[in-house]
Amino acid sequence: MRKHWLLVVFLTLGLVLRILATIAYRPAIIYTDSVQYLNNMGKLSPDQLNPIGYDFVLGPLVWAGGLTLVVIVQHLAGLLLGVAIYALARRLTVYRWLSAFAAAPILLDAYQVQIEQNIMAETTFDVLLVAILWLLLAKGAPGWRKAALVGVLVGAAFTVRAIGLVLLIAVVLYLIVVGNAWRKRRLDVVRRTAAAVAGFAVVFAAYAGYFRAETGRWGFTGAENQILYGRTATVANCETLPLNEGTRLFCPKEPLGQRLGVDKYAHNHYGDPNWPGPLPPGTTKRQLATEFAHLVIRHQPVDVTWAALKDFAKGFAPTRTNSPNDVPLERWQFQLEYPNLKDPNTTKAAVKWGGSEPQVAHGPAVILRAYQLHGGYTSGTLLALCVLLALAAVVRARELRSAALFPAAAGVILLLGSAAFEFSWRYQLPGLVFFPLAGAIGLRALLGKDQARPAMADYPDAVDAEAVKAFGHKEFAPVVVVIAAYNEAGGIGPVLANMPRTCAGLPVDVLVVVDGATDNTAEIAREHGAAVCVAPSNRGQGAALRLGYHLAARGGARYVVTTDADGQYDNDELETLLEPILLDRADFVTGSRRLGAEDADSRLRWVGVRVFAVLASVLTRKKLTDTSFGFRAMRAGLATAVTLREPQYQSSELLLGALALGARVVELPMTMRRRGDGSSKKGPGVVYGANYGRVMTTTWLREYVLRRGRRTPAQASWRTRSDRAARTSG
């Protein structure tokens, strides 16, 4: 579980939110659509406002435990959806922290939690969406059998929410492009695409056949006419349309520019049995509304399209806003009083299927509402960024292009299809399933594979123990310079040759920890008089330095200095570096290129040094200017007391760990030159920065939050007379 700690944190917070929701609104939140679902559980009439797929889930749960059981199951499903998204991202080699953030919206978004507390179909719909994602993305390009199953699931999604049928477009697009099979194995593309379409067609045909058997006409929902009418009524220019006696009755009375919203025309007007008044003989409301809508679409395609695109864009707003004439946003917000009580059917449904009248627990409701209204949701701008990352990966990355494309395309097509009929924040919720995952896959594709290695066990682990056994025991001078080296044969010689033999009157020894090198680094180090410990396998600089700290302390060293094997630091500054400790003004001293001088070879690294210095200063409340300078000095007891888990990105872990133990930290102006030999092993700059930031934040959480005030005897034993932290600038 330690590896997945960030997901566990998000899961825990998500669980708390869902427990509060279950307590706050009992037996569940019931709206008009909820009553329609509940009334249709036994009849399963397909010509209602909503498809009947959700009723197949709702009926057994209500029978088994009432409405409270329904929302509990939906909340548990919401948590499992977060786990499933995280697991899928990890299977696609997305970094752990990024996978956790891909799952965070579905776990923590207050609007998602609120819809799960509703008797509504959205949670069931989300389960089907995630199942489709897993089938398509988890194990490479799908064969025709898996594609057929995906088609069946798209059909099932359609029976839960009719807009689910547009997902077939994204599925077909993915099946064509995945694996570049359309270039070389076109028969495979045809076979699996046909299988997906056939799987969907089986479900669709069965549903349409059931609809005809029950109603005597072809169709799949009772809402298609009124929703389409509502959309076209908002933009219809009746002065230019060729309307007849019947269709003219459907032209809104409000002039263009003052029209009501889609919801008003589709439900309030069309849903009124007395509207629009007497119809011409031989016509029906359904027939005339459909004819009117088709006239508007045929004569005003640009107006209808533009209206839909404007509604689609609303979903990417930075905040949750309520535009005029849209479905009220408050409908999907936690309220301090039970919602929709003006409708007597709400109370009747709660009593009949929930066993009690609707009620609100004020305390939990206040917490949930405050959370929701003060940032407890996923910004639409962030979702748009996720889409852009996915598209960038499709264009520029070499791997995971199809995996990034599908969730992005599916989300866009689904939300665009919804916006074509009506905008509601409820209809934006599937974006929480698709877009964060698409962005995470896209970012991983752009950055490359994670170079981070698993966290180390407590010292000594198996590699440490083998290295220590081979090294034996050596008595060291009071000052030991520890150098971690991996294939540094070309540069370590000059570094050792220029190392001072004494410092402030104290003898200096050098300990080179060879980290599983495959060249003759160890032989060159011995030729220059250094003590050499060879780790049998390559683990990373952090692991090698930790081993060196313990060997130096065991050998009697009082002070430990670290430097690199590539000649980037000036050995002549050793006495300056060590002086604050020798004068008992500090316990830990680090150089700073920002206070001193730097021959920077990367603009990105220049920026990173400053960004992480600010982050560290905020986290530790200590002014810091350089967290990754490799030329450092510290008391040997402190070096071995700090908890060190990171085999690679270790400098910030050491610095923050020392500060957390109360060490007096001093920064001094120092020089950093370009690398003298070889190339950096830190990986691409952005990947390195992401991992460096991860280590810094997780170290802060571990040392400053989870371990505050709880230290082992070994961690407390190094302390000096003062626990003050200091800083100098030279």
pLDDT at 133: 97
The SS3 of residue 161 is coil
Q: Strand 588-598 to strand 531-535: parallel, antiparallel, or no bridges (unpaired)?
A: unpaired
**pTM given for the model:** 0.76
Q: Is residue 484 within 8 Å of residue 506, measured between CB atoms?
A: no
Tokens at residue 500, please? 């001072």
Q: Give the side-chain half-sphere CA count within 13 A for 42.
A: 3
Calculate what percentage of the chain has a pLDDT beyond 90: 64
Residue 50, Cβ density class (10 Å: 0-12 exposed, 13-18 middle, ≥19 buried): buried
The CA distance from 245 to 266, in Å, is: 21
CA 113-119-125 angle, to 5 degrees, is 70
Q: Indicate the helix (H) or strand (E) that contains 541.
A: helix 541-554
pLDDT at 269: 87
pLDDT at 267: 81
pLDDT at 491: 86
Whether a cis peptide bond, with omega within 30° of 0, leads into 460 is yes
Tokens at residue 628, please? 């990754």
Tokens at residue 690, please? 């992401």
Q: Is residue 441 within 8 Å of residue 532, measured between CB atoms?
A: no
The CA distance from 141 to 149, in Å, is: 14
Whether residue 651 is predicted with pLDDT greater than 90 in this model: the reply is no
pLDDT at 188: 84
3-state secondary structure 491-538: CHHHHHHCCCCEECCEEEEEEEEEECCCCCHHHHHHHCCCEEEEECCC
Q: Give the side-chain half-sphere CA count within 13 A for 583.
A: 9
pLDDT at 724: 36
Residue pLDDT, tens place only, 516-573: 888 999 999 999 999 999 999 988 889 999 999 999 999 999 999 999 888 888 888 9
Whole-angstrom CA distances from 137 to 87, 89, 435 are 12, 9, 15
Give the residue from 666, 679, 684 showing the smallest Cα distance to 725. 666
The CA distance from 230 to 227, in Å, is: 5
Whether residue 153 is predicted with pLDDT greater than 60 in this model: the reply is yes
Residue pLDDT, tens place only, 252-276: 999 988 899 888 888 888 888 889 9
Q: Is residue 346 within 8 Å of residue 414, measured between CB atoms?
A: no
As a whole number of Å, the end-to-end CA separation of the chain is 45
Reported residue count of the chain is 730
Whether residue 721 is predicted with pLDDT greater than 50 in this model: the reply is no
Res. 728 pLDDT band, cuts 50 70 90? very low
The SS3 of residue 52 is coil
The SS3 of residue 94 is coil
The CA distance from 395 to 566, in Å, is: 37
Over residues 563-590, mean pLDDT? 91
Residue 671, Cβ density class (10 Å: 0-12 exposed, 13-18 middle, ≥19 buried): middle
Q: Tokens 């330690």 label which residue?
A: 2
The SS3 of residue 345 is helix
Res. 156 pLDDT band, cuts 50 70 90? very high
Q: Strand 632-635 to strand 502-503: parallel, antiparallel, or no bridges (unpaired)?
A: unpaired
Over residues 654-660, mean pLDDT? 92
Whether residue 681 is predicted with pLDDT greater than 70 in this model: the reply is no
Q: Is residue 54 within 8 Å of residue 33, measured between CB atoms?
A: no
Residue 589, Cβ density class (10 Å: 0-12 exposed, 13-18 middle, ≥19 buried): buried
Res. 699 pLDDT band, cuts 50 70 90? confident
The CA distance from 234 to 661, in Å, is: 65
The CA distance from 29 to 27, in Å, is: 7
Whether residue 447 is predicted with pLDDT greater than 90 in this model: the reply is no
pLDDT at 720: 45
Name residue 516's amino acid.
G
The CA distance from 633 to 654, in Å, is: 12
The CA distance from 438 to 444, in Å, is: 10
Residue pLDDT, tens place only, 31-47: 989 999 999 999 999 98
Whole-angstrom CA distances from 291 to 245, 248, 274, 554 are 12, 11, 19, 89
Whether residue 309 is predicted with pLDDT greater than 90 in this model: the reply is yes
The CA distance from 608 to 284, in Å, is: 68
pLDDT at 730: 36
Q: Is residue 612 within 8 Å of residue 606, measured between CB atoms?
A: no
Q: Strand 559-563 to strand 506-515: parallel, antiparallel, or no bridges (unpaired)?
A: unpaired
Residue pLDDT, tens place only, 458-482: 899 999 999 999 999 999 999 999 9
To the nearest whole number, what is the mean pLDDT of the chain? 89
pLDDT at 204: 95
pLDDT greater at residue 183 or residue 486: 486
The CA distance from 455 to 648, in Å, is: 9
- DSSP annotation of 139 reads T
Candidate from 85-94, 98-107, 606-615, 706-715 with smallest mean pLDDT: 706-715
Give the residue from 338, 315, 342 showing the smallest Cα distance to 326. 315
Residue pLDDT, tens place only, 323-370: 888 888 999 999 999 998 888 999 999 999 999 999 999 999 999 999
pLDDT at 90: 94
Residue pLDDT, tens place only, 371-404: 999 999 999 999 999 999 999 999 887 788 899 9
pLDDT at 161: 94
